[in-house]
Amino acid sequence: MQKQKVSIVKYGNDRENIKKALEMCGGLEKIKKLSPSDRVLIKPNLVMWDSVLAFPKYGVLTTSVVVEEIVKLLAENGLTDISIGEASSEDKSRGSSTVLAYEGLGYHKLESRYGVKLLDFNRGPFTEVDFGDFKLNIAAEALETNFLIDIPVLKTHNSTKVSLGFKNLKGCLDRKSKMLCHNVNIPLDNFVSHLGERLNPGLTVIDGIFTMERGPAVNGTAHRADLIISSTDIFSADTVGSMVMGFEPGEIDHLSMFAQRNGLSLDAGNIDIVGEPLASVTRKLRWDWEWKADNSGPPAFERMGITGINYPKYDETICSTCSFFNNLILILLLGSYDGKPFPNIEFLTGKKMFSEGGYDKTFLFGKCIAEVNKDNPNIKQAVKIKGCPPTMDEIVKVLNENGVKADLETYRQYRQSLADRYKGKDEFNDSLFTVS
Ligand code: SF4
């Protein structure tokens, strides 16, 4: 069997290198073979936007420079039916939506210059796809396009370890299906592995200009990796992308599952890697967040001497949006700490935690965990933080009504501190997130 090719190219602030990466992996040749009337869909990773708080985008979002260069290449090769599709998280309170992300990243220029259609997958339409054990509603445009270009970020993920070509395709699902993927019985990796099989992109370009340690969100640590990793084969692209971040391919469950179903080897020796030698660009990244040994909270609780609270570690049943707010609650709790023990409280999240009792109040974050614990006799007083996901205002209100002095200003300062880590460093350049 012929080896699949993956190119690793240094970006080096030279846009020509993006084209070079596509040339070297055979992607450009594939584009040249398309007919002008073929429908092309680009799927970047624009998981969230934020119009209110400081938002360091490095390693979180696909850079605009990579998307722009690929659109240019498509247009130069006569393609006229180009779309970009994404479903960013929606939250009015922090100004997050796909449309706001497109605006903020300058995509309207791609619309006016090249006639690119900007699709908000949150609005549908969707087609139900039966995978046997489950059904998912997938954006019809992603299913029907003639050529799908998947442009994930070179980042780690707190549940699937990496978020690359496979994981990026989860953004083609409707809200209900995304929630289903964070399931009590079926691992998230299983859903993700099937998406790669069904949508099977013609080209995967991993944007590694920035990479993210302990991703996938803003609270991780971004590094400048300055790499473009491309392949016409999603499995090979993700295998190499994972190795660049220091993982063995077999450690990534969705790659193992995909390989097993399709009779593929996880041995990278079966991939023809061209360009930069893999060993010279590999950097081992952390993906997980540590928790206290007794699982009662993050290490910061221990460092600050915080007691009187039980905050078990999130699990993979928590949806991405609830996960974002989980971080917010932790920051609010840390900010409210005044040296006195918390009043014997616990917080449960996700879809399967079950209180074992021993606390005066049990905060149930989101509708799922409230449902799981609704008749739990171990709970003395249940405090529901309602919503799916709950809003920031609801979180702050419920905390304050129940003896935790939560102030959103703490979170605003925290977000500013995240952005400040990159200030004054030449390699972290915001212009990469703007269409020229
Ligand atoms: S409450 Fe949270 S975990 Fe439950 S379905 Fe809604 S977003 Fe997902």
Sign of CA dihedral 98, 99, 102, 105: negative
At residue 387, the pLDDT reads 95
Tell me: pLDDT of 1 over 90. no
Q: Cα–Cα distance between 289 and 41 in angstroms, integer?
A: 34
Q: What is the pLDDT of residues 144-190, one digit of tens each?
A: 999 999 999 999 999 999 999 999 999 999 999 999 999 999 999 99
**CA-365 nearest atom, ligand 1:** 1
Query: CATH for 4-287, among 3.40.50.1110, 1.10.10.60, 3.40.50.11440, 2.102.10.10?
Result: 3.40.50.11440
Distance (angstroms) between ligand 1 centre and the Cα of 122 equals: 16
Residue closest by Cα to atom 6 of ligand 1: 388
Tokens at 267, concatenated:
């041995």
- Specify the domain boundaries for CATH 3.40.50.11440 within the chain: 4-287
Q: What is the pLDDT of residues 371-383, one digit of tens each?
A: 999 999 999 999 9
Ligand 1 neighbour 179 (Cβ under 6 A): yes
Kindly state the average pLDDT of the residues 310-326.
Answer: 94
Are 131 and 197 in contact, with CB atoms under 8 Å apart? Answer: no
Question: Could you tell me if the CB of 389 is within 6 A of ligand 1?
Answer: yes
> Ligand 1 center to residue 290 CA distance, Å?
23
* 249 Cβ closer than 6 Å to some ligand 1 atom: no
User: What are the residues whose beta carbons fall under 8 Å from the beta carbon of 231, sequence distance 6 or more?
Assistant: 4, 5, 6, 7, 25, 27, 203, 204, 237, 240
What is the predicted pLDDT for the residue at 2? 83
What ligand 1 atom has the least distance to the C-alpha of 321?
A: 7
Atom number in ligand 1 closest to CA 319? 8
pLDDT given for residue 93 in this prediction = 85
Range 378-394 average pLDDT: 96
Half-sphere exposure of 250 (CA within 13 A, CB side): 3
Which neighbouring-strand residues pair with 150?
Answer: 43, 204
